[in-house]
């Protein structure tokens, strides 16, 4: 991604630096307070876009102005993710070779649970995303793991997200200090600059939502994961949360981590938690 000019880049950098000092969720605090973080995060975006309802942020760039909202309404008439959704439903209900299925691996048989992921596994001491849980389910039943970035994994998570549409994101952070550490590391990753362009995730999705970089309208960070997985026109297909993270790292000319790396799982944990209460809207579609 390239900013429109050196002046634009400099002003964005200065504004984000000021934001880091002003906002409690963007600073290194002596104590971790996710509840305060989430409250401040939501307030920042509702103050920045006072005309938007809180639940509208899950529509990403399509919530930014009336013309884009009309485009979203038109897309939803014949959603480009529909083929993936149908594929995901068929895959989800098809038994494994051993006779079991995904339903045996998840609470409520895997239906209507998307809003609870990622979760923190206190036994393992790490964040478990839905994508990781699906592949672990496959491997536990003698099936090969899927790619984390598209195709089958995108279809499965699209179906599971669809069964949770409208349910509020409900991510839990247990009192286990390792869970708080994972959350804090995710927050730190989100605000840390990297790559040749020296951008952080927040540079685009906190400082500049609604602005354009090339032909893309930047989405607000609030609710950004509620719409995952997404169909993107530039991909000509579906992509998972893992694909979005690795693509963003590449766009800022950084070195992407491996999908489901601890750092990616932690940032997913952070972003999901601060969007608690906003509805699941996935699968989604973006330009």
Question: If you average pLDDT over residues 108-114, what whole number do you get?
Answer: 98
Query: Could you tell me the two tokens for 5?
Result: 């000019």
Q: What is the pTM of this model?
A: 0.88
Average pLDDT of 105-125?
97
pLDDT tens-place string over residues 34-56: 999 999 999 999 999 999 999 99
Contacts of 75 (CB under 8 A, 6+ apart): 285
Question: What local confidence, expressed as pLDDT, does residue 30 receive?
Answer: 55
- Given the residues 105, 137, 201, 248, the one annotated as active site: 248
Handedness of CA 60, 278, 112, 126 (dihedral sign): positive
Model confidence at 278: pLDDT above 60: yes
61-94 pLDDT tens trace: 888 877 777 777 777 888 899 999 999 999 999 9
Residue 153 is classified by DSSP as: H
248 part of the active site: yes
Rounded average pLDDT over 166-191? 97
pLDDT above 90: percentage of residues in the chain: 70
C-alpha distances in Å from residue 200, one per residue of 76, 77, 190, 204, 238:
31, 35, 6, 7, 24
pLDDT of residue 141: 98
pLDDT tens digits for range 208-256: 898 887 777 899 999 999 999 999 888 888 999 999 999 989 988 888 9
CA 229 to chain centre: 8
In which band, very low, low, confident or very high, does the pLDDT at 150 lie, cut at 50, 70 and 90?
confident
Q: Report the percentage of the chain scoring pLDDT > 70.
A: 90
Q: What are the tokens at 8?
A: 């634009």
Euclidean distance between CA atoms 34 and 171, whole angstroms: 11
Mean pLDDT of the residues in the chain? 88
Domains contained in the chain, CATH given? 6-79+173-286 (1.10.760.10), 82-162 (1.10.760.10)
């Amino acid at each position: 991604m390239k900013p429109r000019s050196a002046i634009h880049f400099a002003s964005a950098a200065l504004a984000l630096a000021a934001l880091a000092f002003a906002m409690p969720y963007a600073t290194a605090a002596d104590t971790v307070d996710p509840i305060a973080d989430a409250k401040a995060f939501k307030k920042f975006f509702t103050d920045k876009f006072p005309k938007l309802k809180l639940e509208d942020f899950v529509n990403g760039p399509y919530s930014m102005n009336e013309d884009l909202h009309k485009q979203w309404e038109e897309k939803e008439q014949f959603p480009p993710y529909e083929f993936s959704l149908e594929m995901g439903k068929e895959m989800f209900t098809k038994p494994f070779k051993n006779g079991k299925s995904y339903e045996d691996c998840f609470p409520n048989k895997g239906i209507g649970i998307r809003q609870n992921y990622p979760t923190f596994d206190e036994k393992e001491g790490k964040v478990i995303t839905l994508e990781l849980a699906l592949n672990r389910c496959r491997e536990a039943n003698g099936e090969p793991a899927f790619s984390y970035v598209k195709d089958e994994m995108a279809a499965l998570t699209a179906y599971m997200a669809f069964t949770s549409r409208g349910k509020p994101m409900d991510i839990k952070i247990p009192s286990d200090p390792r869970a708080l550490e994972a959350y804090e590391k995710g927050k730190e990753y989100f605000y840390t600059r990297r790559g040749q362009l020296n951008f952080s995730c927040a540079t685009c999705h906190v400082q500049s939502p609604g602005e354009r970089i090339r032909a893309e309208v930047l989405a607000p960070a609030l609710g950004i994961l509620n719409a995952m997985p997404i169909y993107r026109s530039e991909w000509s297909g579906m992509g998972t949360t893992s694909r979005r993270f690795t693509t963003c790292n590449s766009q800022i000319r950084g070195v992407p981590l491996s999908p489901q790396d601890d750092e990616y799982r932690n940032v997913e944990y952070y972003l999901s938690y601060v969007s608690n209460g906003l509805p699941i809207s996935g699968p989604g579609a973006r330009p």
